[in-house]
Amino acid sequence: MRFIGFALLVAAAAIPAQAALYKWIDAQGGTQYSDRPPPPNARKVEEHKIVKNTIGTAGAPFAVQEAAKRNPVTLWMNDCGDLCNRARDYLAKRGIPHTVRNPARQDEQEAWKKISGGDNSIPLLIIGTNRTVKGFDANNWGTAIDAAGYPRGAPAITPPAIPPAAYSAPDSPQAAAPAGPVK
């Protein structure tokens, strides 16, 4: 019986995006399984539809997908030059899916105040709901990312295409984050 279950699992893996598996009782009373519809004289026909599953971090290794579900990564940065670029590139090189947010944008001000606690250090890395790493230091970031369950050997990803306006120009002069130390 275990072999039949395993055979069904293997058959399901080889099926296209949408398909069906059939189970029925043949004329001799035996149970049959197939990816083709049963003959007209089959009894107790069961059809099981199979739909391929997709995950939001499609293409990423399973370990990365699981870590991203448990501990999503957000990079707060603006146009702080080489430091912010190295921070973003580090995440891409490690294969860490992440969201980039800009504290200088007016629509981000409330969230920035809440997350930064008044400290204006950028870049700011947020992992999950309780890990915050200020500034960019590859060793500190690596330790925090490892602790969040992200694997070290994940393939590199292409950094998100962010138009310069998304992280350089605030919506209005009043929206600019107060000047503060950049680490």
In the chain, where the domains are located: 2-51, 62-175
| Residue 168: both structure tokens together | 């350089």
Which pTM value belongs to this model? 0.55
pLDDT at 128: 92
* Cα–Cα distance for residue pair 58/158, rounded to 1 Å: 14
What 3-state class would DSSP assign to 24? strand
pLDDT at 155: 67
Domain 62-175, what architecture?
A: 3-Layer(aba) Sandwich (3.40)
Length of the chain: 183
pLDDT at 45: 87
* Cα–Cα distance for residue pair 131/119, rounded to 1 Å: 15
10-residue mean pLDDT profile of the chain (183 residues): values are 42 48 85 83 81 48 87 90 91 90 88 87 91 93 94 66 48 41 43
Task: Please report where in the chains the tokens 């055979």 appear, as a residue.
Answer: 7
Q: For residue 149, what are the contacts with CB-CB under 8 A and spacing of at least 6?
A: 63, 66, 67, 70, 71
pLDDT at 130: 83
Sheet strands side by side (includes 124-127):
98-101, 73-76, 124-127, 131-134
